[in-house]
Amino acid sequence: MTSRTQWRVPAALIALNLIPVGAGAFRTAQLVGGAEVTEANARFFAAPVPVLLHIVGASAFCVVGAFQFVPSLRGRSRWHRAAGRFLIPCGLVGALSGLWMAFAHPLPPEDGDLLAAFRLLFGGIMVAGLVLGYAAVRRRDFAAHRAWMLRAYAVAAARARRRWSTAVGWCWWARRASPGRPC
């Protein structure tokens, strides 16, 4: 694999995470900067610590985790091991704070019980993947480690993909509601 082609997957994964990381930065600015509390954001202001932990943990996990897909950085690389020691706690913080918010925050009107159930299911899968991936690497079962960590990352990336779908959906709806107006 050439040095250029080995960076395609991480570049695509980072691009996939641009919207959720940007949304997280926006939410962080709101919470830290003291934005006006509205009905739409009141649940975040009621308990800002888990929201901030979720944003930082999940963003770090998704962005830094993308570099774990670079073949030259895996294997016996010190970088891969050091990044893993950083990423597992970040992923756990992101997933566990997300689970806490799914339990503790009231659902917005547009969310339903099915979405809440999916959040709990996939948050649990992410935690399990991280814990089982860590346990596998400790017993030097690298194939199982890779499989569990890929599952955990796939759950996090699926959340990022949902943000893209939401953005595209909003853009489509805005154009249908106001023809001739850009998104």
The verdict on residue 182 lying in a domain is no
Half-sphere exposure of 122 (CA within 13 A, CB side): 18
Residue scoring higher pLDDT (161 or 99): 99
- pLDDT, position 54: 94
The verdict on residue 152 lying in a domain is yes
Classified as helix, coil or strand, 150 is helix
| Per-residue model confidence as pLDDT tens digits over 6-34 | 888 888 888 888 888 888 899 899 899 88
- pLDDT, position 171: 62
The verdict on residue 125 lying in a domain is yes
The number of domains in the chain is 1
Mean pLDDT along residues 95-124: 85
| Per-residue model confidence as pLDDT tens digits over 129-175 | 999 999 999 999 999 999 999 999 999 988 766 655 666 665 665 66
Q: Given pLDDT bands bounded at 50, 70 and 90, which one contains residue 51? A: very high
DSSP assignment string, 21-59: HHHHHHHHHHHHHTPPP-TTTHHHHHSHHHHHHHHHHHH
| Per-residue model confidence as pLDDT tens digits over 83-96 | 999 999 999 999 99
Residue 124 in contact with residue 94, Cβ under 8 Å?
Answer: no
